[in-house]
Each structure stands twice: as structure tokens, then as C-alpha cells.
Amino acid sequence: MDVHERPKLWKWIALSFQHLFAMFGSTILVPVLTGLSPSVTLMASGIGTIAYLIVTRGKVPAYLGSSFAFIVPIITVSQGGKHIGEALFGCLLVGIMYGVVALFVYRFGVKWLDYILPPVVIGSVVIVIGLALAGTAVDMASMKDVVQQMPRSAAEWQHLDGSIKNVDTEHGKITMHVYSLENFGVALATLGISIIASLFFRGFLNIIPILIGIIGGYIVAYFTGMVDFTAVQQAKWFDLPQFTVPTPSWKAALVILPVILAVLAEHIGHLVVTGTIMDRDLTKDPGLHRSLLGDGIATSIAALLGGPPTTTYGENIGVMAITRIFSVWVIGGAAVLAIGLSCVGKLAALIQTIPTPVMGGVSILLFGIIASAGLRMLIENRIDFNDRRNLVIAAVVLVIGIGGAVLRFADIHLELEGMALATVVGIVLNLVLPKQKEEKETYARVGAA
């Protein structure tokens, strides 16, 4: 079924639900991890997808869901939900920057991106995106908060198990962050179910291993007594999402905005893959600039409503590759379903009841997959690590990004850290380090083109 063909109603609904399920687990996971609203995120993904389809003239069947690349910077800026508005401001600027890049691509083509962001830089940065989250995933999987009486002596303080998260002197209570074997067991069960679904399930079920893992882990958590349905019972059936508006913060912008360098490569890659399975060049018709602009508009809409930046989803590309159904009507139908489900209050409350260890279990797999995708990018592009230049670039990017290095200028309130700093350093090293003669000639031809 080609792009503009529309299936019969019953088949249309079934195919749209398939795309909804394919993107649902990953799209919902990002707001759960970052403290944003899952309902707003679901609505924003639907509205953003429809906007994308309009901008690309209905020629690119792509669903836009939450981008994993922004998890770390959003968590860094929001600081446990205290500065969500500031994080959203950074996300809004990302959407605007997409538009700026789209203008450059429309005017100068795409070769300059290859010069600034070669595979050795992008691959290393993608690895950083995944591994920088490794500690977060393990913490979610194996730790829990326990409230207990405040110790009365120095000896009791010294023998506390875990780390102190909060001290309530008024009530004589402290909150300890401690290891939990029960939590880790649930997380491992969730991880195991996700792996089994990914490796051994076939057909439609093979496309939604994360969702299957969450459902399976949720059932395990229920029988261990971790699930409380009180909020679901109290929630309304119809309830509009609670929107959050951005709060201007240039510090947040400096942390979040550099991530666009990584997602640009992801966007281009997805567009090329989609065009390949459709047997047409989407970078020319409707054009990469339209696709980038559509993603930028979708990201801006999400930020203005209170959701994370969007990206074209590989999960949905996989669905199209299997079914050979490229209809934008089907993608649009999934977007409409997402918007409708975002207004179901009991669904939002049900999502909030998912225990942290369950999300920690799937996060171990997801964050590892992100890092592996970066490694695959290096392999597929045949990066030669016998070339010391490539070795130096990758080494510095990985250590700065995973180590959480910070570049801070207090006088001008400028701060770059972690993945953002690693991306900038990678670009600088790529531009200043001497290249081998053959590589110089290649870049010279690229610049001329």
C-alpha cells in the first residue's frame, strides 16, 4: 500500500493501532524518566506527527515520538522536577534550531553536515548518550527509598545502610536510598521478558518488545505488592492533560541545545532508511529540509505543551518494513488515536502506577541498545582505529561524555557538561586535528560540492 492509499475502515484502525503500540512504550518511557507528563507527551506526539505529515506534503510516512537523546540533559536541567519549565525552554530552542538547519539545507544542501559531523564523532556521541544513562538505569532497577526514624547517636549515623536522600528534622525522619533485592528481581524479570520478546517473538509482537516487557514486569510487580491502584480508581475517565509552559533559561539552553548535533544524524539516517524500504529518495522529494522543518515544528509544539523533543521513530519504520504498508493515512490514524488516549484520565493514572523497578529493567535494555547503535554506526562506516586521529577523537568524546566532565565559566554563566560538552569537543577535534591525505582530498570534494 503506497503513501496516499487509504485502507478500509476496519483495517485502517487495526493498522493504526499497530503503529500506536509500536511507539507507545518508548514514547511514554521518556516522560516517565524525566518527570514530564505522559499524557501531554502522548498528545504532543500525535499533534506533532500530523504537523510533520502536513509539512512533508504527505510523502513521508513517519511517526514522531519522544527522543531518547534528550533524557540526560532534561534530567540534568530539571533537577527532579524543580525546573521542568527551564528544560522545556531548551527543548523549544531545539525545535527552532531544526528550522534554522532546514533553511541551511534548503540553501546549501547536506554535504556540510557530513564535514562537521563525520561518523566517528556521531557514533561516539551516540555511545555516550546510552552509557551516560547506565547508572540511572541500574539505580532505578535496584534501589528504593525507605523512610525511617532519624538516628540519635553518631554511631547510629555511621551504621546507616545506603545513602541519605532527605532529612526531615521537624518529624524526626530521614529518607534512605537503599539496595533492594526484591526491586532488582522485578527489574531482572522485566528485562528478561523484554529480551525474550525481542529475540523469540515473531510478527507484530516482535515490534513491541519494550511494551511487552513493561506489561510483563508490571504483572510481576503486582504479585509482589508494588502496585497501588488507588490513583486509578480516583481518576476521571475524561481528563485533559496538565500542560506546562517553558520558562526562559539560557543555562538550560546551553545544556540541551548541543544535543541537536546528535539527533540531526539520527533524523537523516531514519529518512534515508525509510526512503530505501520505499524505493525512493525522500531527501529530494519532498526534501530533507521539509523533513527537518516538520520535526522542528513537532518538537516546538511538544515543548510548548510540556513534552520532550520528538524524533522519527525506528520502531514504526520497522513496522512499515514488515507490512509494506506506507500509507500516511495509517500513520495519521495512529496520531489521532494517541491524541484521544491522552485525554483518558484513568490511562494516565494507570501509567503512573508503573513501579520504578519495571522501568529500570527496560531501561537497562534500551540504554544499552542506544550505546550499541553508536557502536554499530562506527562499524558500518568502517571507522579505522589504526588511524590515531580517529582513536583520539573517539577516546576523548567517550571519557568526557561518560565521565560527566564540566566546562564552567561562572562569570558569564556558561556551562557545558557531559554529552553536550563531548559533542562540542568531538566537533572541534574533528576540525583541527590533521587528516590523512586521502581524507583531506575527500573533504575537499565534499566542500566543493
Which CA distances in Å does 364 have to 143, 275, 398?
A: 14, 31, 19
pLDDT at 370: 72
pLDDT at 392: 94
pLDDT over threshold 60, residue 439 = no
pLDDT over threshold 60, residue 149 = yes
Average pLDDT value for residue range 225-253: 83
pLDDT over threshold 60, residue 336 = yes
pLDDT at 296: 93
Q: What is the mean pLDDT of the chain?
A: 82
Band of pLDDT at residue 35, cut at 50, 70 and 90 = confident
pLDDT over threshold 60, residue 412 = no
pLDDT over threshold 70, residue 28 = yes
Band of pLDDT at residue 301, cut at 50, 70 and 90 = very high
pLDDT at 429: 93
C-beta separation of 162 from 178 below 8 A: yes
pLDDT over threshold 60, residue 448 = no
pLDDT at 434: 86
Ordered by start, the domain boundaries in the chain are: 9-140+184-448
Query: Which of 64 and 82 is assigned the larger pLDDT?
Result: 64
Torsion on CA atoms 69, 3, 38, 210, rounded to nearest 10: -70
Judged by average pLDDT, the poorest of 30-39, 59-68, 212-221, 284-293 is 30-39
pTM given for the model: 0.67
Q: Which residues contact 433 (CB under 8 A, 6 or more apart)?
A: 389, 392, 393
pLDDT at 204: 62
Judged by average pLDDT, the poorest of 88-97, 154-163, 246-255, 292-301 is 154-163
Highest mean pLDDT among 105-114, 171-180, 332-341, 435-444: 332-341
pLDDT over threshold 60, residue 441 = no
pLDDT over threshold 80, residue 25 = no
pLDDT over threshold 50, residue 411 = yes
pLDDT at 354: 81
pLDDT at 413: 47
pLDDT at 297: 95
> CA nearest 32: which of 307, 225, 256?
307
Query: Which of 165 and 36 is assigned the larger pLDDT?
Result: 36
Q: What is the pLDDT of residues 382-409, one digit of tens each?
A: 888 999 999 999 999 999 988 878 777 6
Between β-strands 310-312 and 64-66, what pairing exists: parallel, antiparallel or unpaired?
antiparallel
pLDDT over threshold 80, residue 244 = yes
pLDDT over threshold 80, residue 132 = no
Average pLDDT value for residue range 46-73: 89
pLDDT over threshold 70, residue 80 = no
